[in-house]
Structure 1
């Protein structure tokens, strides 16, 4: 290419390979716009990029570039947009980028950058968007300039950051003051001496480690894998736009508090089917929801939780901020469609039904997910919005809990004893009918709040009545409705399809060589209703713990399948 007066170069969204040579940049120093994103270019950016003194827009995103960010970029004095996300750049962020007085947007996300955030970036008065997410940046976050507005920057996925404005929710930075440095040497010396004494405790520690490992194995599907950020696919706005046919209504599969969910096909990743949750950033709390869901899902893994495929924090085709989360697509939709199929216009969906064993398996799946979130994560995770539409079913009707947009990460119980009973600084909305009553009084998010939602969900699964049914008014709610009928009128409140299984010999459920006949269903149904009632008790301290719920549900399943014959095992 020898167009010496070339000013605008746009070859983005292709499959071009190769490198950017120094000769090319020297020959085309008149370039104002370079857009080569969404290709497969590799190698490093030559320092000759600094000779492009007329450059206004430089987009090399979503390629395979590596090496350091050239410090010579600072010589492009009128550069307004710098997009280098989703590559393999490494090293530190050049502090002299602060000399780009006209810069308006900087996106360096999804690279391998290290070091600290240059404090000099605070001085960029025209900078309106800064994305440094998903690198390995560490140290203190500045708090003036662009860093004073959380809506104009993204720093998620950098677990070693601290400080910054409160909205970023980073931990405070630990500072060793000068007068304490002498004491530090004494502490180190003492620690060496004490280490000999601590060896005596080795046997006890070994026992605790073995016990803890054994305990973790009890959690179905548990994985102790570290953060999965590096394993996420790198997907751009344009790829999501193509995957969903421009976010067309035909691909719309649901909506929630803060956005809509679209079905999509990722052509560059083997035509992988995905569900794309697009945040409506005009809604209050949507950005916080994106942050909460990203923060929650990036470090957890369980067979009964939705699996995140990727994220996207970028700019859309109109120049507006765009945020989306990408999940694996689950073929059988959400549980709400299976519990209330008659409410949908789709003929295939309207014929769906779940038998007692399938509902019991789903109840166990959801309970196992909550048990994992509450007891087997580094910090307790409270979902805050458990309901049928947030439970997705795969091709084998295995349940996966999703939508963590309202989730809260809590410190371990011994770290928050002083906070019990206090009000939450963040309003927990949840969903009407499923939110715990104490949330309406302003109490903080808690694991018993999730247990309440689970209890309501279980009652809905067995009775096939929503907690928001028109029949529930004044003092009558689904909890009282079930409690009143539990002993003498249970057959009148239960989903008729569950009772017909035991009455109709032609519709028996087979499980290997075992056959479930009509003798056990009603006992199991009553036991499930009792668990639902205890979980949805009005007072948090009266509710069951999820560990006990999971244990009881497995006992009920054993009785239902004929593995256990003693009915007293069902007592809740």
Structure 2
């Protein structure tokens, strides 16, 4: 597979040696072999991978290293040639020998090397956690409680490529780096130096990986904190196309791009840093939103769903031409200080043309297919049907089902191995109570009956969004209108109901769905009822 860029084989209890054939995957950028029982040496072929940036090979047994077999052998030769490496975790294996004495390994947290009794870093004489190092480290880098928190943050706080651009650049500057001068463009007044940014691009600051790069949390000496994405691809065309395509986007629910920097084959994008991670972490991290009662929890989740709906509607109906996000999922919804949502990761976004349907179909056949994320991909991705805004509507519907049920779309505990959409659809078709599908955290004792009724109505909207046929899905402007109607203040509802009662006769025909003047042919014939 010469085009393979990312390979996840973690937690499969695989045994034997690490296959040297992986060295033939010349474009491999991320390799995760953690949670297996590999034995033997690291194949030298892995050291010849020119693009490898993230490698993980941790044992499944993080408590007692003696409970499983693990990879052993000298690591120096295979790792010395990996010039692009940004993250490495080989903790709790049986590695031995000296690690390369490079800036990357000098800054590597010792927790990522722990449990390797004969592994040596540098030429120092002090040992800690199974690794010897001349470096002086603060307690937070060595003590297990802080290391555990740092590891949890890297695993669960997903910051995939957030993107949005302020139209007019506030400044442009050049800064010299190892590969020549840095070209730096900032869209806000930020007094930052590239040396300070580059110093923070270490494995201990990685907060997530996305479809197009690895993201770091960067703090500068003068008090700025922001996120920096280092793009996987060194393609200048890809880098500048993403900036140009999203240059007009500015929305309160879309993460903002602060600027960019380029130097040789290195491409960096600067974004606003959001402290509460992703919606996926909120739903599946075990702690909820921290809002307290079930009623507060539902209010927080509802506003997340509505905010994301506003963002997608903006892309589809307020941008000319319309923009298809292409990868809407819970991991790509980031949360601000008050848990306000921001849509992120436009690595797969593309501008939709206004050409004729036949020309659009021809373009679809000629162009590479957009690859979304498993569990969120609309059915038309698997056929020759045209990808449209309705594909984003489907993915949004899956996210709303995830918000309501608290289950991942590919939750392995769903009956019969069903997908989340299949499980919900079968439940509703059997005319069972929709409340049985809801996350227990939302229906805990004390939950208001009115809130549960709102959840049922939001579930109905999500069901419209995940219709199998694209034409049966509503436009995002209609979705926003329906969601806003569900949670209008009670006083406003009573006032409108009284006005309708006195001014209009009772309808004899079903009420048609809300239609937006911008929706053109994107609205469906589905009614909320």
Q: TM-score range by the shorter chain?
A: 0.5 to 0.7
Q: CA RMSD in A?
A: 3.1
Using the TM superposition, give the Cα deviation of residue 490 of structure 1 relative to its aligned residue in structure 2, in angstroms: 2.3
TM-score of the aligned structures, taking structure 2 as reference length:
0.54
1:459 aligns to what SS in structure 2? helix
Does residue 285 of structure 2 align to residue 355 of structure 1?
A: no
1:499 aligns to what SS in structure 2? coil
Say if 1:292 and 1:406, in contact at 8 Å, map to a contact too.
no
Residue aligning to 2:449: 519
Q: For residues 547 and 477 of structure 1, what CA distance do their matches in structure 2 show?
A: 27
Say if 1:244 and 1:265, in contact at 8 Å, map to a contact too.
no
Distance 1:227 1:465, change over 3 A: closer
Using the TM superposition, give the Cα deviation of residue 241 of structure 1 relative to its aligned residue in structure 2, in angstroms: 5.2
Q: For residues 236 and 386 of structure 1, what CA distance do their matches in structure 2 show?
A: 36
Q: Deviations over 1:154-199 (max 9, x none)?
A: xxxxxxxxxxxxxxxxxxxxxxxxxxxxxxxxxxxxxxxxxxxxxx
Residue aligning to 1:54: none
Which of 261, 270, 279 lines up with 2:215 in the alignment? 261
Residue aligning to 2:169: 230
TM-score of the aligned structures, taking structure 1 as reference length:
0.51
Residue aligning to 1:564: 493
Q: For residues 258 and 468 of structure 1, what CA distance do their matches in structure 2 show?
A: 23
Say if 1:240 and 1:266, in contact at 8 Å, map to a contact too.
no
Does residue 438 of structure 2 align to residue 494 of structure 1?
A: yes
Does residue 259 of structure 2 align to residue 310 of structure 1?
A: yes
Which of 381, 397, 400 lines up with 1:455 in the alignment? 397
Q: Deviations over 1:258-284 (max 9, x none)?
A: 2200001244xx5221110101227xx
Which of 381, 389, 399 lines up with 2:331 in the alignment? 389
Residue aligning to 1:543: 473
Say if 2:200 and 2:219, in contact at 8 Å, map to a contact too.
no
Structure 1 runs not aligned, ≥5 long: 1-224, 316-320, 343-347, 509-517
Using the TM superposition, give the Cα deviation of residue 488 of structure 1 relative to its aligned residue in structure 2, in angstroms: 2.3
Q: For residues 429 and 297 of structure 1, what CA distance do their matches in structure 2 show?
A: 19
Say if 2:217 and 2:226, in contact at 8 Å, map to a contact too.
yes
- The aligned runs of 1:173-252 (5 Å cut-off) are 228-231=167-170, 234=173, 239-240=193-194, 242-243=196-197, 245-252=199-206
Q: For residues 434 and 539 of structure 1, what CA distance do their matches in structure 2 show?
A: 15
Structure 2 runs not aligned, ≥5 long: 1-163, 178-192, 499-510, 514-526
Using the TM superposition, give the Cα deviation of residue 308 of structure 1 relative to its aligned residue in structure 2, in angstroms: 0.5
Distance 1:250 1:571, change over 3 A: same
Distance 1:538 1:240, change over 3 A: farther
Using the TM superposition, give the Cα deviation of residue 499 of structure 1 relative to its aligned residue in structure 2, in angstroms: 1.1
Q: For residues 253 and 176 of structure 2, what CA distance do their matches in structure 1 show?
A: 28
Greater Rg by CA: 1
1:541 aligns to what SS in structure 2? helix
Say if 2:165 and 2:247, in contact at 8 Å, map to a contact too.
no
Does residue 368 of structure 2 align to residue 416 of structure 1?
A: no
Say if 1:451 and 1:546, in contact at 8 Å, map to a contact too.
yes
Which of 189, 210, 231 lines up with 1:279 in the alignment? 231
Distance 1:287 1:448, change over 3 A: farther
Which of 316, 321, 338 lines up with 1:379 in the alignment? 321
Using the TM superposition, give the Cα deviation of residue 288 of structure 1 relative to its aligned residue in structure 2, in angstroms: 5.7
Q: For residues 236 and 170 of structure 2, what CA distance do their matches in structure 1 show?
A: 23
Using the TM superposition, give the Cα deviation of residue 352 of structure 1 relative to its aligned residue in structure 2, in angstroms: 7.7
Q: For residues 237 and 362 of structure 1, what CA distance do their matches in structure 2 show?
A: 42
Does residue 236 of structure 2 align to residue 294 of structure 1?
A: no
Aligned residues: 316
Q: Relative CO higher for 1 or 2, CA cutoff 8 Å, sep ≥ 6?
A: 2
Residue aligning to 1:469: 411
Q: For residues 330 and 241 of structure 1, what CA distance do their matches in structure 2 show?
A: 23
Residue aligning to 2:277: 333
